[in-house]
Amino acid sequence: MTILAVTGLRREASILRGTGLKVVVGGGRAAALEAALAREAAAEGVVSIGLAGALDPELSPGDWVTATAVLSEAGDHPTDPHWTAEILGRLAPRGYGPILGSDRMLVAAADKKAAHLRCGALAVDMESHVAARAAARLQAPFAAIRVVSDSAGADLPPAVLVGMKADGGMALGAVLLDLARNPRQLPALLRTGRDAERAFRALADGRRLLGPRIGLPDLMQLPLDVG
């Protein structure tokens, strides 16, 4: 069996791919991601991994967050404690606690603050809750680890809402058109791009630290280790 790695962007997928790992890209479309994961009949483990927005004001772009649980309107999903402990030992993340799964992007600092006060989540992304449901259906271990790409106090520019294609690719034409309509968002767009680059670099560094199995303990190897 393979490990399913669930993420949002094609660029994230290119960083994550490896032997024994199948990357499923959501593209910001929860229903399509749900359908794609529903086609999977089995998995050794399911991990939500990629970029996220900070809800905790103490987190900065490039910081890793390891989830104890994924919170959503449909219910809360705890992560596997053994897998999570292995991830903690390899990454030493800045954040450790619940994260929020949302069907919509939180772009306003006020909305991020409200979400943090409401549920105590450290970060938010658009795939973790869908991945958690898939793991429950497959009866597979579940983990969620995310890199902060925008801080809790930052308002994201409107262009980010049109910046992602359904396949997780970059919709550069749509971003440039939105920028032409509202050029005053350029400074925020440049800041967002710089912060995202920092997060992508952290994702690549963490991918190497996590190893080919994203930290999932090899159950077949345990008897050999004990012997």
Q: In the chain, what are the domain boundaries?
A: 3-154+200-221
The chain-wide mean pLDDT, for the chain, equals 94
For the chain, where are the E strands, in sequence order?
3-7, 21-25, 45-54, 64-71, 77-78, 95-101, 123-125, 142-150
Superfamily of domain 3-154+200-221: Nucleoside phosphorylase domain (3.40.50.1580)
How do residues 4-18 score in pLDDT, each as one tens digit? 999 999 999 999 999
Count of C-beta atoms within a 10 Å radius of residue 36: 18
Roughly what angle, to the nearest 10 degrees, separates helices 128-138 and 30-38? 20
Summarised one tens digit per residue, pLDDT across range 129-183 is 999 999 999 999 999 999 999 999 999 999 999 999 999 999 999 999 999 999 9
Q: What are the angstrom distances between the C-alpha of 156 and each of 26, 90, 94, 164, 171?
A: 20, 31, 22, 14, 16
Residue 49 · residue 105 · CB < 8 Å:
no
Tell me the pTM: 0.93
Quote the pLDDT of residue 222.
43
Q: Write the pLDDT tens digit of every residue in 92-111.
A: 899 999 999 999 999 999 99
The pLDDT-based confidence of 227 (bands split at 50, 70, 90) is very low
Q: Of 63, 56, 57, 39, which is closest to residue 145 (Cα–Cα)?
A: 63
